[in-house]
Structure 1
Amino acid sequence: NNLESPMKIQRIAYPWFGSILLLAMASYLFIGNSKLTLSLVQSAPQLFTAQVELIILGVVLLVWLLDLRLFYNRRENYIKNSQALKAQLNDLIENKRQLQRKAHTYSNQTEKLKAFIGDRLLEYIEYDEKFLHFKGIAAEVRHNGIICYDKILGALHAAAAADTENPNYPEALTSLSYLWDLLDLSTADNIALHINNHICECEEYYYQIQLQKQHPNTQAEPIPYTPTFLAHNALLRAILPLMKMREEAVISENAEFLFHTQADSQFQLYISKECELLGNENHIVLVIENLVKNALYYTNEGNTDSTAGLQKSKAYNKVSLSLTRDAQSLQIVVYNHGPHVA
């Protein structure tokens, strides 16, 4: 507040009025008692009586005392104003010091922020360089791999047609398709946009299939691939290899669900068999593999070396996977005692 309303400098006025009256009183007494002014006194003797002198003396003293009191009041106000001005100057100096300290602090923080941003920019630039490098490698592999992919695919189809009883050929075809889809994702500029475009394309093919069913006599171009897949097949492709590693690949089923609820197993499965999705099955396999492996990592991290501790760990540190659906959506849940992923 003192800074917002600056103090005005006040001056102390000397009590001239009382001093002048005292000087006039002294002159009056001098005239009344001096021999040099005896003729003046004789001409107006009523002005120099004792009563008149006392009255004049009382009035002069009263006026002088009032003037003296006014002088001291002004002096006190001057002292107060001086103290207020001094306090205002001290506040101004302190505020200046605070501003200097803040400027110094903010300057240090600005330097730290600039250094932090510079380090992050260097990291991002290095990351972009690595990303572009690996993306270039993936693009080169994809470009050179198209010919190899076609040859391997043709050889596997021919081998599978020649030996229909060998299960290795269908598994090899599935693995080759999975590898090719991973290569597609690795070379995509925007993975989300790439997947969404593929789903839109699958939706178009799906409606074409529905129209062909309604009009079977109409000639139409063949659909290049099946636009839908069963979600439980993708889940089984992701989970069965991990269960076989632990000798737990025993899955029961009924008309609607697949389930695996053995007490000594590390997995609990509850999978609906009526969930059909648009898109690429391999994308769901990749997501489920990542989630399940993440769950297994945190589950195995808490296991103990003792037999009792291992049995207790299997009883409580389970990986639960469920696939359910309602009228409008499908829900896949992978749960364990680790931290939340999303």
Structure 2
Amino acid sequence: MGYGPPAGHPGLRRAIASHLNASRGIKCDPDQIFVTGGAQQAFSLIGRVLLNPGDGVWYENPGATGARNALIAAGADLVPVNVGAEGLDVEEGRAKAPHFRLAFVTPSHQQPLGHVMSLARRLELLEAANAAQALIIEDDYDGEFYYGDRPMPPLKSIDTEDRVLYVGTFSKTMFPSLRLGFVLVPRSLVTAFDRLFASWISTPPTATQASVAEFMDEGLFATHIRIMRRLYKARYQTLMEESPALPESIKVQPTTSGFHTTALLDGRVDVQLLINQARSAGVTIVPISRYALSPLGYNGLVLGFGSTGPDEIRAGIRVLREMPALRV
């Protein structure tokens, strides 16, 4: 009934390490796993350990807002690096900030564009980090939910120089109110993270951690992932089947994993007017620009389908189809 180990419940650390090895191809030891109160806390702690004020951090543009805010709070100088179909533009990052300290990427399912980083681009990023003696944060927030036969291996699984910090969360694989995440750190950083966690970190409740560990050890977590993967795939397929009914001014983009995709808009569409019209009709849509650090040169929407059933998706498409702002 006392306080648990600062770095996390040993059973959960073992279970996470075993799961990463079996399902994601990442070989690691439990002592490299540090349990956090969600991914957001993991990003904050990484910044606390690794960053000095003004350190350059390559950051996907557009990119995830939660990690962005955490790294800014740690004093990072975020360098917006544009994202294409193959992922982060490494050459642009080198040109803008060759002596970067960290790079933040979402290679399994880019947030928010939905691209999967190519193997060639992953190797290029690892090479750039090695040359700069930099580290990489890999946010694998929804990599478990892929819709093809086999997912692209995580960046961490091909990290031969031990430069990747891999962040995962149970908020997406199970449910957000668990407030449970983790960071897998390179072996060279284990001592530094041990000291940080021992000094002040209060981990999530031990009972919660022990319950999740048992859920994983009994094989129920893997079964849950398989079931949810089929459910999310069905919702995604509904979205893609219904999207041709939309006006020509909006093009829903395909994706291969995750809970969301994007829709690109004709440049003549007034995005804010479209958002307001949709809100008045009971549909919430989010512009891609919300995730941008610098201007993107294109307009679009982020369309979530993970928490929305097929009937709701069809209803939402019908609403969007009638939006006056899309008739350009």
Normalising by the smaller structure, the TM-score range is under 0.3
For the pair shown, the structure with the greater C-alpha radius of gyration is 1
Which structure shows the higher helix fraction? 1
| TM-score, normalising length: structure 1 | 0.19
Higher relative contact order (CA 8 A, sep 6+): 2
Name the one with the larger strand percent. Answer: 2
Which TM-score applies when normalising by structure 2? Answer: 0.20
